[in-house]
Chain A
Amino acid sequence: MTDQTDHSRRNFLYVAAGGLGAVAGAATAVPFLGSMLPAADTLAAATTEFDVATVAVGQMVVITWQGKPVFVTHRTPELLAQLDGQDDQLKDPNSESIEAVSAEWMKTAEQRKTRSIKPEYLIAIASCTHLGCIPLYKPSKGRTEWGDSVPSDWQGGWHCPCHNSLYDLSARVVKGSPAPDNLHVMPYKYTGDTTVVIG
């Protein structure tokens, strides 16, 4: 055997060992990093079942889903009427800016406006898209109930106390707010007349 072939054999073995070592390292990383992902019982708790009929007409409750607060609002026809005619004041009236503000079931213009499957029940993630505070529910029009925390032409909706972001009654962000996007929505479905499974 000449020096030349000798060397190529050695180099080949070095490369083979190095390659296999790299494969071993990568394969070892899988269980370690995998173990840090949510465990099976955590995933099992990733959906929340909720009966929307328990929310009184005109009221809002906060429930949790995957550890996050979620608004469930029971809107009256009057409140739904307050959604109309203010699109020019909203940053994103049709919820198109990012994926998280839209959902698969938002198909018709009406659903894009009410941002809900059943118009009266709005379900949205209760974190202000600015820095994550929980906005306050201020449904009635004007400043009567809310003082100067809301503008004088207030159409009803949410007001975030941290940095004064405003959302309308479909949780769409109002122009001039520091928040960039509408409140996020999540996949959910009705499994009964009033039973929703969120997630």
Chain B
Amino acid sequence: MKTKLFAWVDRRTGAEAIIKSQLTEYPAPKNLNWMWVFGAIAMFVLILQIVTGIFLAMYYKPSAELTAGGFSVAFDSVERIMRDVNFGWLLRYVHAVGASMFFLVVYIHMGRGMYYGSYKEPRELIWIMGVVILLIMQGAAFFGYLLPWGQMSFWGATVITNLFGAVPVLGDLIGQLLMGGFSVGDPTLNRFFSLHYLFPLLLGAIGGGHMHALHPVHSNNPDGIDLDQNDPKNVVMFHPYVTMKDAFAVSAFLMLYMYIVFFNPQMGGYFIEVDNYLPADPLQTPAHIAPVWYLTPWYTILRVFEVKLVGIAFMGASLAILFVYPFLDRSPVRSARYRPVYQGMVIMFFIDVIVLGYCGHTTTTEATKIAGTIATFYYFAFFLALPFLPKFEKTKALPEGV
């Protein structure tokens, strides 16, 4: 079957061995369900974001210099992309909607890992790299949101940089490092553009590590059991079985994604916020300021505490605790299918995050404040209860094979 050209390349690169080890002879559990497709979809969205970003950067200009009507060079360049650049509107909507879709997919991917215990021994490092990816994604999204230099861009960046400014002793220094000045301004925009270009490349690299780390330990499975990877009763080869399944999943996902891009790109102000159609005005804060939906759970944790510094500490802790999650959970059983208590807890946790997200999005009322406080409490309680769980959780018997 080998063509001469392939043989030539293979002799110099070992391509055939790579293809075998990664695709045609790489075993994947036979019983993976549809929740296992979101990793592939996330990779697809990342690539699409990088490619659209490269093309958008050919026209985008990171300058806060004012132009007629209170707009700026940056805002004008975005509108030029939307109006004058051939298919610029398509590239920009794919990129802007893509940010939300990327988070949606990654959150589902994380939820799958949590439910089926994919973070547990021996896959702790994969989970930890995933958390690093999440943090870099949040950074990339935050930097990217500043670029259109709209009202939400400006005030979102102002609020977040002020957060870091509240860190004791080093606050002012960190604030100035981020902003390159004493408030969000032209230097901030320039460095955010530079970092917005850098971070996705980091994502690519760490994403590669995330996948590479999967190879020695192999994929988890819905039963969370150890499988003999050489037994054809347990596994199928990655190609063509998983590749074709992923290809179908990506295509189905694209239908949702492209529907939004072509028919509802602002998503009622959830994906592109209403206030970001107004040019940045350093002298006037929008009446209602909230981060984009994918950051609102953390925003709620920040807001429920009266003391600013405590809020920041808890928001930091809510992300940091994800790193130690694999070590807090000491149960020998992985999948929630066989852990009745954990199953209830983790489903509650998913609902909890949605509640946190909702509270962070709406204007604060007495009700959302109480809900936010309870949800924040549960967020931490979930993780902190894990070490004690094996003492009283009666796990169900695990199946022998798939």
The chain A residues found within 8 Å of chain B, CB to CB, are 17, 30-32, 34-37, 39-42
Contacts and interface: CB of A to CB of B under 8 A. Distances in A.
B349 to A, nearest CB: 38
A41 B59 CA distance: 12
A41 B84 contact: yes
B60 to A, nearest CB: 12
Interface in B361-392: none
Contacts of B85: 35, 39-40
A35 B58 CA distance: 9
B51 A36 contact: no
Given A17-B247, A41-B80, A36 B88 contact: no
- Dominant secondary structure at the A interface: helix
A23 to B, nearest CB: 13
Interface in B228-255: 247
A33 B160 CA distance: 37
B86 A32 contact: no
Contacts of A17: 247
Nearest to B85: A39
Given A35-B58, A36-B58, 19 more contacts: A31-B86, A31-B87, A31-B91, A32-B51, A32-B91, A34-B86, A34-B87, A35-B55, A35-B59, A35-B85, A36-B55, A39-B84, A39-B85, A39-B86, A39-B88, A40-B83, A40-B84, A40-B85, A41-B84
A72 to B, nearest CB: 29
A31 B80 contact: no
A39 B59 contact: yes
A24 to B, nearest CB: 9
B336 to A, nearest CB: 35
- Dominant secondary structure at the B interface: helix
A40 B91 CA distance: 16
Interface of B: 51, 55, 58-59, 80, 83-88, 90-91, 247
A16 to B, nearest CB: 13
Contacts of B51: 32
A37 B55 CA distance: 11
Contacts of A35: 55, 58-59, 85-88, 91
Nearest to B254: A24
14 contacts: A30-B87, A31-B87, A32-B87, A35-B58, A35-B59, A35-B85, A35-B87, A35-B88, A37-B86, A39-B84, A40-B83, A40-B84, A41-B80, A41-B84
B55 A32 contact: yes
Contacts of B83: 40
Nearest to B52: A32
A30 B91 CA distance: 11
A9 to B, nearest CB: 14
A31 B90 contact: yes
Contacts of A30: 87
B241 to A, nearest CB: 13
Contacts of A40: 83-86
Contacts of B55: 32, 35-36
A22 to B, nearest CB: 13
A4 B91 CA distance: 45
Nearest to A42: B84
Contacts of B86: 31, 34-35, 37, 39-40
B78 to A, nearest CB: 13
A-B interface, 10 closest residue pairs, ranked by CB to CB distance from nearest: A31-B87, A40-B84, A39-B84, A34-B86, A41-B84, A39-B85, A34-B87, A31-B90, A35-B87, A35-B55
Nearest to A38: B86
A174 to B, nearest CB: 42
Contacts of A34: 86-87
Contacts of A41: 80, 84
A146 to B, nearest CB: 45
A36 B54 CA distance: 11
A32 B87 CA distance: 8
A41 B79 CA distance: 12
Contacts of A37: 86
B355 to A, nearest CB: 38
Contacts of B84: 39-42
A37 B88 CA distance: 11
Contacts of B247: 17
Contacts of B58: 35-36
A42 B88 CA distance: 14
Nearest to B92: A35
A148 B110 CA distance: 79
Nearest to A30: B87
B250 to A, nearest CB: 11
A161 to B, nearest CB: 35
A175 to B, nearest CB: 44
Most chain A CB within a 10 A radius of its CB, from B55, B59, B83? B55
A32 B52 CA distance: 8
Nearest to A21: B247
B226 to A, nearest CB: 33
A35 B8 CA distance: 37
Contacts of B91: 31-32, 35
A195 B372 CA distance: 71
A153 B328 CA distance: 95
A30 B58 CA distance: 16
A37 B86 CA distance: 7
A39 B83 CA distance: 9
A86 to B, nearest CB: 47
